[in-house]
Structure 1
Amino acid sequence: MPKITYIECNGTAHVIDVACGSTVMEGARQNDIPGIDANCGGACACSTCHAYIDPAWFGALPPMDDMEEEMLSFAYEQEPGRSRLTCQLRVTDEMDGLVVNLPLRQA
């Protein structure tokens, strides 16, 4: 299982094994990681699973589609080139070592 590191806005890091096929958001919720609210449950209908991803990882991630891009526009403190919705990031073996930085608050 790939290990994903979730870093809270206060710097607290959580290294979690996340099953391939699940989403980065599901990995956070299943392990009670604070900072990802996911109010819509992963339907890409809100922006409360927003996180910052190092651009170096973008090649291992699925490309952003129009729906994610539109919902992301509602995210608090969005950072172009770093912001993604974690409900849209399906975990693969290539994501082993991914670091997800969580924002100060969700929308």
Structure 2
Amino acid sequence: MAHEQTLEELYAIIKGRKETPKEGSYTNYLFDKGLDKILKKVGEEATEVVIAAKNEDTQELVYETADVLYHLLVLLVEKGVPYEAILEELASREGVVSKTAERKAITDL
């Protein structure tokens, strides 16, 4: 069985690309274009996840989810947010009961 890459490992690879650019790298293309390009891609990929989820093809959903996760990791690296900060935030939510009444309603979809 092939080695399964974790999101943490992918984050480290992306961070390495930022620190040591590789010619022809799509990741470096995103870093070179800057924050606005990265944000545009995150938005596009998130929208594609929503569309894929409405379709019957679960493989499309898997593909688009991988794309959005990758672009989110690029964004975190660009903004200097360590991967561990995300893990810590998720861990802090473990066992926390959220009341839907406390959340602002989403009205503009």
- TM (norm. structure 2) is 0.30
- TM (norm. structure 1) is 0.30
Higher relative contact order (CA 8 A, sep 6+): 1
Structure showing greater Rg: 2
